[in-house]
Chains A and B, each alone.
Chain A
Amino acid sequence: MLIFKPPIEDTKYLIDEFLDTSELSNIGVFKNMTPDLTDAIFEEAGKISESLLFPLNRSGDEHGCTLDSGNVTTADGFKEAYQEITQAGWGNLTCHEQYGGQGLPHYIANAVDEMMVSGNMSFSIYFGLTIGAYNVIERFASDDIKEQYLPNMVSGKWSGTMCLTEPHCGTDLGLIRSKASPQDDGSYNINGSKIFISAGEHDLTENILHLVLARTPDAPKGIKGISLFLVPKINVSKNGELGKHNNVTCSGIEHKMGIKASSTCAMEFDNSNGVLVGELNKGMKAMFIMMNSARIHVGIQGLAVAHTSYCAAVDYAKQRLQGRALTGAKNPGKPADSLIVHPDVRRMLMTMKAYTEGARALSTWLSFKLDVSHHSPDLIKKQQADQLVSLLTPVFKSFLTDMGETVTSLGMQIYGGHGYIRENGMEQYLRDVRICQIYEGTNGIQALDLVGRKLPAHMGKSLRYFFHPLSTFLEQHADDEQLSVYINPLSKSFFRLQSATLFIAQRSLSNPDEAGAAASDYLKLFGFVAMGYMWAQMAEKSIYHKANMSDEFYDAKLKTGLFYMQRLLPQTGSLLSSIMSGCGNTMSLAETQF
């Protein structure tokens, strides 16, 4: 029986003590975010995650979704759980109050998001897509459309999807073929096939709203000729009543490696009626907005599943008796010591713990910056936060999902053969989390976004809002002896990141392949430093600003942080060497030599 505990204690610590929210604490809803309230939210979310979602995780994986004449049936228990959760309002935490949402800040909602995903990643996807669709409609659609559709999305009565990918194009959306023909009433008839549509068809809601990328007849070629349309599964009258089916059909569901309980559909639109969202030919702009928030959500998925795997691995390492400690028996009364006495098992557990807690801190911190970018009354701070979030989004998505793969793989490793077989469920986490490195823009694409778009823009301007505060932090603590075991390694890695940045900026001027070949290593280097920044801040607070947590808690933070600085962060050295070696070693073979 797998053990799962939502990370309530760590989350409370991050929100109540680690995060400095003073920048927004006098504004609107932020005023109400006192520990009393937020702690209660996390306790409740934890309960839902642990007792409602987690029990459906394994069964969902076993039974998956079934397709029968165009209808998808979700795994047993999903429908009831969906009802219970939406009725309690867990699906609309960040949605506007005017549409029935709770209007909570991202830094609270994303912490809840993590708990829901760690309970059951497949299940959470149905919510995630609805929120993504909500965000696009809320930002870009006309008021009429918003009034017509948003309240039912917020209440959970209707769900949403994003229909981007087509059989011949995924990453390169400029190739999209789906057509939108204008009708006399101002609406459009949509024709085309989409694949890989998460939550494209299911039995959880009475209607599904598809956001579809398509091309109007005289649209310009490529990415500049793509528009976004809202196409409901069932037509909706002006006053919100359901009408006839809209010829949107699910022609198949994918058989996947993981997230089996999430329906991944092939969708056919056959003269389906849709309305334009946003401006004509500006569909990609809306998609980018959606994708940015989706990418943060995917990063959180990496973190969440890593946590789930860690919970089980710790439990197993304590329970499972195998071999004796190298330094002599720790448990002489039993036939063997528990796994946790072994340094190599410790190495794995510490790695899992240091990555997971570091990622959670990064998630909390970045989510709050997202709030600042939306709500700061200071226009300049708002823009700076926006630049920072935009810079770190690809790093966050890739680094946390790579980390998710590493951690779930280690979790399986700790179980040994018992991890590899299906019976114990550890392999499910690895299978589930693996998609995170692929969807919403592969991690390779994230790295290219970072070095090709974010880094050179305005001669590195957005870098400033990460590098400067970190540089100031390091300067401020440069002479602190107690902190030096954290600050010195971080300074060293920071210098490596600076060097790599300037190297790529300069080299890629003469050869763009230099940036391309360095991209993934650079992103990883960036991620290590960003996470190191979080750990150094946690260490600083654990030494000087202890508050409501137990001494044992702070002690664990300091020791885990030290493990990160000394055992994980030094990877920046090898990454820098790889980057500095240039692109020649990667690009020199002729295609025929492969």
Chain B
Amino acid sequence: MEIKTVAVIGAGVMGGGIAAQIANAGVKVLLLDIVPKNTDNRSVVAQSAIQKLLKVKPAALMHKRNAKLITAGNLEDNLNDLAHVDWIIEVIIENLDLKQALYKKIDAVRKTSCIVSSNTSTLPLADLAVGLSKSFRHHFLITHFFNPPRYMRLLEIVEGPDTKPGITDTLCHFCDHQLGKGIVKCNDTPGFIANRIGAYWMQTAMLECMRLDLSVDEADAICGRPMGFPKTGVFGLMDLIGLDLMPHILDSMMHSLPKSDAFHEQAHIPDVVNSMISEGYTGRKGKGGFYRLNKSAGKKTKESVDLKTGKYARSETAALDSLKPSIANELKKLVSFDDKGGEFAWSVLSKTLTYSAGLIPEIGDNIEAIDRAMKLGYNWKHGPFELIDKIGVDWFIDKLESKQQPIPAILAAAKNKTFYRFEAGQRQCLNLTGEYRTLKREEGIVLLEDIKRQQQPVKKNASASLWDIGDSVLCLEFHSKMNSIDPDILAMIDTAVAIIPNKYKALVLYNEADNYSVGANIGLALFAANVAAWAQIEAMVKSGQDTYKALKHAPFPVIGAPAGMALGGGCESLLHCDAIQAHAESYIGLVEVGVGLIPAWGGSKEVLTRCMLDPKRAKGPMPAISKAFEIISTATVSTSAAEAKSHLFMAKSDGITMNRERLLFDAKNKALSMLPDYSPIEVEEISLPGATARTALNLAVASFVQAGKVTEYDGVIADQLALVLSGDETDIADLHSEDDLLTLERKAFMALIKQDKTLNRVQHMLETGKPLRN
């Protein structure tokens, strides 16, 4: 069975978000909610939910047009429409009676093959399924999404004793391939996996912070990046989730967990937090939380709450000795360090890890699934068992013993071992029986991470490597700082172009960092520019142009496979590929104007040529030039791969992969599919109008400058871009080759990099990560 249409019932934040992600997959969704009292518009709840989806930040929809795939309705008039859908997700209020009443209504209309799932986070499936038809129970499970559904990759799935295996498989396949989720199957236990451990961890951190008298800044500085937890820390995370949500979660856990569960020891909400909640300090959505931005006196000041008094004071950078890099960078040193930071780290970590280990086999017997749930659902860098391996099983046991803390069975069973190991390049994890089990990737998942363990690189330098990913396809991996493009990366591309024709067949540009590439390494260029080493800088520009041009004309298919940010020089590498296979969450753009420059590694040329050759464009060169001008001069960054197609960074025929783990496999297949009859891209010469077009573009910019929407210097940058896009001193009758356009890019780039204001922009970006408007 295939899932072709879906219904989401309950148009709250989660329901709306889930509906949006299904629409992002290109699947039609029916979004239903109740008919409110006293209104003529009976579907207003779902309709306004769709309106909210169009505005919410971060965006729930990958493309605005995806909203059209969502149909709003209500549970009275549209109940019968449920008869046509393949999957119904219930996302209504956490109330057993209401849910069961709804299921009965659904059961009356659904087609027999229709899958029904609940997004409950607190109610057991066993309770939900009571009294429902056998067929319903065969098709019923829990699908627990995390907020926001587009961005959080974890999906917990709970099957009941009656759920048919085929049903689960169908649903898992859909959620994995089309919704891009990482699926973790859970037992029907309270909080499932991620929230059970996550809530315990957050509560423990909060209570230990108060017991040991740390400030929230200190606690978050420790219980954040140094321990591999999200850098917001625990208090920052609770501000995001909402302080008022914690009592509900705790109530439901306390209600359903046996008194013997250690959770009860950490479930207390301090008075100071209760009074914050009652006064409306519920976090980012309220008046502030553990942190707030005080905007009085015309300045934004970050403040943190004093957990003793409940009063806010300016946030202070935590200055504990345990936070010195030599300590904080090594987990074992951190948790053994003799100050309150070290004590806090040990206390939170040891409690959280022993609690997690103690939950086996109750919440599951697969430690890898538990680690995965925490990584995908709470953005931990390492799961609990990976963390134990990091500090050492035996060391951990010894230290627990010396502190007279209890040792969970699974931990004792792991004595003298590790939870994970590598055997002949294969990753294995420990079973409950004390044996190792090889972890196999699902079909269609190829990770560079695995390949790198199994072979030596074909070539490698400080910033890039070439890997043989089978079937005569090479993968070029960037691994410079933030994957910024530097001379080493360019050299590796040159190497690939040189060796592939003899020994291999195709190339994929791909890596597994958070971001494909944040752009060219402008730090190098800035220093050179400050000492006026113009010849050297121009050579750097030329070398990037030559390398990308060679990539474009290489006699074999080149596939760009980005995920995350692909900006500036990173974007330009993609623009010179034959095709792109992008992760859905790819943020692509030419952002050079933000640092006072224009794209000059062929980026301006490629965008202009694409606009000129776009079959949809209006007649005459001007509309195409204007479009290219707009894309580059506003530093447009696509907020998804789908949007990148609208911006012409990607072609219509380029592919999009929803599941991050499937990207390399898809990209490689795309390359292989292009091999038969491959011929390199033909270069078309274009004719450009010259000075008149430059004047027209400048006029448009001048009005923005006058209106104060952009700075005068933005106008100077835009003029240099206009110079390139108009063809400079030319006549409409002349044809411009690729090299002509590259020469113009260099000319404009060199004119701009000599300007003080450009260099100030570059410096500001490097030092603060933010653009300077000067």
A residues near B, CB below 8 A? 380, 384, 458-461, 463-464, 467-468, 470-471, 497-498, 501-502, 505
Contact = CB atoms under 8 A, between A and B. Distances in A.
Contacts of A467: 530-532
Contacts of B767: 458
A150 B151 CA distance: 66
B759 to A, nearest CB: 6
B526 A498 contact: no
A524 B421 CA distance: 57
A460 B530 contact: yes
Nearest to B530: A460
A505 B533 contact: no
13 contacts: A384-B756, A459-B523, A459-B526, A459-B530, A459-B766, A461-B763, A464-B529, A464-B756, A467-B530, A498-B532, A501-B531, A502-B528, A502-B533
Contact of A460 (B526, B534, B536): B526
B527 interface: yes
Q: Shortest 8 CB-CB distances between A and B: which pairs?
A: A471-B532, A460-B530, A467-B532, A464-B530, A467-B531, A463-B530, A460-B527, A498-B531
Given A458-B767, A459-B523, A459-B527, A464 B759 contact: yes
Interface string B514-545: 00000000010011111111101000000000
Contact of A468 (B527, B532, B763): B532
A471 B534 contact: yes
B754 interface: yes
B531 A463 contact: yes
A459 B527 CA distance: 6
Contacts of A501: 527, 531
Given A460-B526, A460-B527, 5 more contacts: A458-B763, A459-B526, A459-B527, A463-B530, A467-B532
Given A464-B756, A468-B754, A459 B532 contact: no
Nearest to B526: A459
A472 to B, nearest CB: 8
B763 A502 contact: no
B208 to A, nearest CB: 31
Given A461-B763, A464-B756, A468-B754, A505 B534 contact: no
Interface in B20-64: none
Contacts of B526: 459-460
A461 B760 CA distance: 8
A470 B766 contact: no
B530 A461 contact: yes
Nearest to A462: B530
B463 to A, nearest CB: 14
A498 B759 contact: no
Judged by DSSP, the binding face of B is helix
A464 B526 CA distance: 10
A468 B532 CA distance: 6
Nearest to B524: A506
B453 to A, nearest CB: 28
Interface in B719-774: 754, 756, 759, 763, 766-767
B533 A498 contact: yes
A463 B531 CA distance: 6
A452 B645 CA distance: 48
Contacts of A468: 532, 754, 756
A304 to B, nearest CB: 32
Nearest to B529: A464
Interface string B650-691: 000000000000000000000000000000000000000000
Contacts of B766: 459
Contacts of A505: 527
Contacts of B534: 471
A468 B756 CA distance: 9
Nearest to B774: A380
A470 B534 CA distance: 13
Contacts of B528: 502
Interface string B407-435: 00000000000000000000000000000
B629 to A, nearest CB: 29
Contacts of B527: 459-460, 501-502, 505
Contacts of A459: 523, 526-527, 530, 763, 766
Nearest to B757: A380
Nearest to A494: B532
A157 B534 CA distance: 55
Contacts of A502: 527-528, 531, 533, 536
Contacts of A460: 526-527, 530-531
B432 to A, nearest CB: 48
B634 to A, nearest CB: 26
Nearest to B754: A468
Interface in B374-428: none
A467 B531 CA distance: 5
A460 B531 CA distance: 8
B532 to A, nearest CB: 4
Interface in B230-265: none
A460 B525 CA distance: 11
Query: Of residues A380, A464, A471, which shows the largest number of chain B Cβ atoms within 10 Å of its Cβ?
Result: A464
A34 B38 CA distance: 87
A216 B531 CA distance: 44
Contact of A470 (B523, B529, B532, B536): B532
Contacts of A470: 532
A464 B528 CA distance: 10
Nearest to A459: B526
Contacts of A471: 532, 534
Contacts of A380: 756
A225 B754 CA distance: 42
Contacts of A464: 529-532, 756, 759
Contacts of B530: 459-461, 463-464, 467
Nearest to A474: B532
Contacts of B531: 460, 463-464, 467, 497-498, 501-502
A460 B529 CA distance: 9
Nearest to B532: A471
Contacts of B532: 464, 467-468, 470-471, 498
Residue among A380, A459, A497, A505 with max Cβ neighbours from chain B (10 Å): A459
A467 B533 CA distance: 9
Contacts of B533: 498, 502
A332 to B, nearest CB: 55
A502 B528 CA distance: 7
A422 to B, nearest CB: 48
Question: Chain A CB within 10 Å — which of B527, B533, B763, B766 has the most?
Answer: B527
A459 B759 CA distance: 10
A310 B523 CA distance: 47
A455 to B, nearest CB: 9
A463 B759 CA distance: 12
Residue from B532, B754, B759 having most chain A Cβ neighbours under 10 A: B532
A510 to B, nearest CB: 12
Nearest to B523: A459
Specify which of B526, B530, B754, B759 lies most central, judged by the most chain A CB atoms within 10 Å of its CB: B530
